[in-house]
Structure formats: structure tokens, C-alpha cells
Structure 1
Amino acid sequence: MASESENRPVRKIGYARVSTHDQNPDMQIAALEAYGVPRELIFVDKASGGTMKRPMFIRAMKTCQHEGSEFVVWKLDRLGRTLGGILETLETLTERGVEFVSLTERIDTKGPMGKAMIRLLAVFAELERDLIRERTKAGIARARERGERGGRPVAMTPERVEKAKEMLAAGERGNTVWKAMQKIEGPKISRAAYYAWQQAWDVENRDPGVVGE
């Protein structure tokens, strides 16, 4: 005889994300609805996946608190830009007794293949962290060979560092920040010198890291 929990309908919570306001999430929403997620339980962010501080993502996670629920995405990378961040979310869901479904990769943690996939993600997340550390060490070594103190470019003056941190916290990156550094009084700063500083900043401040879109 089936238990009450087995007969209880699964509550499906959907999450969709596009990186910019110019992109359209309709395809993701349609796929989630086709899977059976009610429209009122689909949460949509128009934001980069480099941070877990996304308002609709936070609301979706708060809604998905009860054992027996499903957290559904169109594609795994909608959760975030790093394996470490994705794995952290999956571990949180597992602790709550919430299943996870990714429609594109056909990942469903209710089955043994889905659980095996999570274990593989943990292995690759650790590899990702090791690669970031190695790249950072190599960048510091190259900076020292160029005569730059402490592995960070001398051109990153305190004024530039303060402005760069402010812009990075606001989601600005790469060329946009580098060009802003050029406008601040100080030694000439090359693109490579700024990117070496940004890479080191990413490792020190990552949640758990930022590597690509």
C-alpha cells in the first residue's frame, strides 16, 4: 500500500535565467511549462550567472524548501557559471530532500544516473578549483619576472584598486574596467597587467570562482 508521501503530488519549481536584458527567456519558460511547472512557480532572472546573489534565484530556492519538491531548469548552466557554484546549489537541494531536474542534459536526481552525475560534478568542480589556482600561480610568476612586486602590477595603484573593486562588485569586468583604470592618474597600465590583477582578485573573492559566461 502506497504511503501518503508517495501519493502526494510533486511540487515543481522552475528557474530560468538569461545573461542580459536583451535576451528572451521565453524558450526556457515554455520548456519548463511543458514539463509541468506551473507558470506562477517559474522564477526568471535577467542577470549574469557569476554571482549567486540573484533575486529570483533566491526566491526560487526559498520556495523550494519542502521534501518531495522538484527544482527544474532548462539547462544546467542556468544555475551558475562555475561547477563549484552549481554543485553548492545541488548539495543544498539534496540536504532539503528536494530533487533536481535539468531538461536539456536529462539529469534527474531521483534515479541512480542522476546521483552519479552529481558525484562526477563534484570531481570536476575540484579540478576546476585546481586549474584556477595553477593559472593564478603562473600569472604571479610571470608578473614577478617582469619585476612587479608581490605578483601584482605596480600600475594598480591604491586609487585604481579601489575603483576596480567597486566596478567588479557592480558586475563590470574585463575591458570596461581596464579602460576605466587608464583614466585614473598613475603609471601606464597594460591590458595584460590589469587582467593579471583581476584574475588574482577573482580567486580571492570568488563564490567559488568566475570562469567564463
Structure 2
Amino acid sequence: MPIVLLLLILLIGCQPVEQTEKEPEPAINTEITPTLSVASLSDETKRIIGGLGLDQVQVFDLENNTIEPLMVHLSVEWFENGVKQEDLLHMGMGKSNAMQEQRKKSQVLFSYDFKEVEGSKERSMHISASIMDKGGSSSTEREVALPVLSGGRLTSPLNEKVDLMMNRPVTVLTILEDDDGNGISYNGRLFAQYDETGEVPEEMLEYDRVILFRVKLLEEK
């Protein structure tokens, strides 16, 4: 595991926990919907992450209060000129019934970094993904070469708490790029529609490049 990814996992996993008066554990309720929200990081953790020099690091809290065994699945999807390409990355981490009963909160981490390749018409993109909880972590990463686009880039991360429905992906980070320099207009409704229906809206295919970082819960049989 490269040192940068290892450092990120250690940073997130070692954050100090705010001490509060201990409250009784609520009864486990299979009707409660799992949620995903932006993690609250300490100022020191933010400072160190900023010093790594990566283009983007996003950490999310995944709360689940059911006893159902499940798998957390992460993926990075890529659309180029309106055509879906092979996923840039995907991974999963399962949770047994015993782990679920402990009501452990998971954290999901995505990071990426673009690097120009001198004398090449391609740009290197390094992607990392991790799932972490008190029981351990699972991580993967990949470096891919993408054609250089001459326009701009817009990045939009998730900024609100969302419900996680079983087998329905949620987009937590969106990258849009254009090749004409005319500017990029972000329409969050398109990506929410894709999450909800699984069908790609025609307007979404008008972007020159779309990269989606997504989280999904799967039932383990």
C-alpha cells in the first residue's frame, strides 16, 4: 500500500473522539435507514491532508442501525463524450451480523490526483478508495491515463446527509470536464436522477467527461 494512502487511513482512523456523557445504546431497529454524510474532521487532520498536495480528499460517515448483513460497495464511473467507459475503480467490504450488532460507524474515503505527463496527450489520474471502521479497513487504488481536455474542470462533492437505500448507488463526488473552454454548468438534478433511476439522463451525456464517485449498500446473501 503506497505511503500516501496508508497515511490517509491512519489520519482518519486516529482522530480524537469527542468525550460526551455516555447515553444508553438505542435498540437496534431494522426500520432505520442507513445514512451517509460528510465526516467532521479535526483542524489538524484537515491541515495534514492539505499538506499532502492531492487534488481532492473526501471522507464520509456511513451510519447503519440494522442487524442485516451488508456490503459497502465503492465505484468510480467514467463517461467520455456521452459514452460510458469501463469503471475506473470498484471495491467492496462486507459486514457480518456480529459486526452489525455492534452498530459500528464506517467511514468512506475517496481521493484523486491529476498529474500532467510531459510530452503526452494523456493525463495521469491516481484514484484511491477506502472503507474503515473500528474492526479494520479495506482499500484499493488505481492509476489511469485519460486524454487531455483543453477546457476546464468542475468538482462537486456531496454536502448534505442522504439516505442509503439497498442496491441504489449514491454519487458523493462528481468531476466534470469540457474540451472547448466555454465553461461548465453543473446540474445536480441530473446526477440525483441517475442515482434514483439507474438510467442516464440525456443531458448528462452532453458533458465531454463525467467521473462519478459512488457508494452503494448491497445485501449479503
| Shorter-chain TM band | under 0.3
The structure number with the bigger radius of gyration is 1
Bigger strand share: 2
Identify which of structures 1 and 2 has the higher relative contact order when contacts are C-alpha pairs closer than 8 Å and 6+ apart. Answer: 2
Question: Which structure's residues are more often helix, by fraction?
Answer: 1
TM-score by length of 1: 0.28
